[in-house]
Amino acid sequence: MNRLDQHIKQEAEASLLALRRHRRRIRAGKRGEALHDLRVSARRLAALLAPWQRDPALRLRKPLRVVKRHITHSNAIRDSEVQEQLLRDLLPELPRDLASWLAQQRRQRNRNLLALRRQLDKPALPRALGKLRKRLRRGLKRLPDHALIEAIGQREYRLRQGIASRLHDQAALFSDPEHWHALRLACKRWRYLLESHGVYVGSNWETAAAHGQLAQDALGQLRDVELLQARFAEAGLAGPAISQHLEQAQQQRLAAARQACQALRTQIETQQ
């Protein structure tokens, strides 16, 4: 068994075991950081296997979709937690209407968490994880080492070129939240791919991954503010005091995101 084949199997096995462990913790009500850990493990697994998700020899696409679906169900929970923390950071002393709204959001979050636990009680996720394990054990034997490395290189190149294209015009990039949200997701996929397979991509992959994470985090923090602004507008809570705090936070995070994206663009240009 070649080194790359062993690397893929070992990394996949670690993520599969972690997903099973975090699923058990959430089902048992021992939440803590389990939800965050579940999401991270799923992302790492998806990034690890992304170069071969469409390969007919492995047939990974359908079970990976099941994993992704469970993580998608947790998005609202994660967003609610982050928005509550952001609101408390901005306004330690909450007015009555905001405190009431926050209590409603917390009740909805608990309902979403209960729904997620019910979803995790079903056999779909462990069944999908079992299929992934079996298909990797059988399918990787059919792929030569050079084909595995070529697939990694192609995936990394497509992601990097897509990011570079979005970074080319920052004025257009930040004119629409959908544009930089797509960039954030691309940075996340690229960063996790580099962390999984960087040694097979080339030199300086650790620096590239670090810049990708900085841009991803900065864009994510900007998104958190804009989501909270939208939630307040929907609820009719966009009063002068909170609007001023949110606007200030939005401008600060926008500046940080621009800086991180410029640094990422410079880093990518050195790799071209």
Domain of 174: which CATH number?
1.20.120
Where does a domain end: 95, 124, 142? 142
Of 142, 167, 191, the one marking the end of a domain is: 142
Both 164 and 252 in a single domain?
A: yes
Question: Which two three-digit tokens encode residue 146?
Answer: 């050079």
Confirm if 67 and 119 have CB atoms less than 8 A apart.
no
21 and 134 share one domain: yes
* Separation CA 271–CA 168 (nearest Å): 15
Quote the pLDDT of residue 238. Answer: 66
The two structure tokens encoding residue 190 = 């690229």
Q: Give mean pLDDT in consecutive 10-residue pieces for the chain, a chain of 272 residues.
A: 79 95 89 86 94 92 94 91 89 84 93 93 95 93 89 96 92 89 96 92 91 97 91 78 86 96 94 71
Among the listed residues 115, 127, 111, 107, the one whose alpha carbon sits nearest the alpha carbon of residue 27:
115
Please indicate, yes or no, whether residues 122 and 154 belong to a single structural domain of this protein.
Answer: no
From residue 251, give the alpha-carbon distance in Å to each of 194, 242, 254, 258, 269. 30, 14, 5, 11, 27
Q: Which structural domain range is residue 9 located in?
A: 1-142
Same domain for 136 and 8: yes
Q: Are residues 102 and 219 in the same domain?
A: no
156 and 127, same structural domain?
Answer: no
pLDDT at 123: 95
pLDDT value of position 122? 95
Q: Are residues 2 and 136 in the same domain?
A: yes
Instruction: Say what the pLDDT of residue 2 is.
Output: 54
Per-residue confidence (pLDDT) for residue 133, from 0 to 100: 95
Report how many domains make up the chain.
Answer: 2
Residues 102 and 197 in one domain: no
Q: Distances in Å between the alpha carbon of 227 and those of 82, 170, 218, 223, 240?
A: 10, 21, 14, 6, 18
4 and 110 assigned to the same domain: yes
pTM above 0.85, yes or no: yes
Q: Could you say which of 113, 142, 171 is where a domain stops?
A: 142
Do 195 and 105 belong together in one domain? no
For residue 51, what is the DSSP state? G
Are 186 and 101 found together in one domain? no
Are residues 185 and 76 both part of a single domain? no
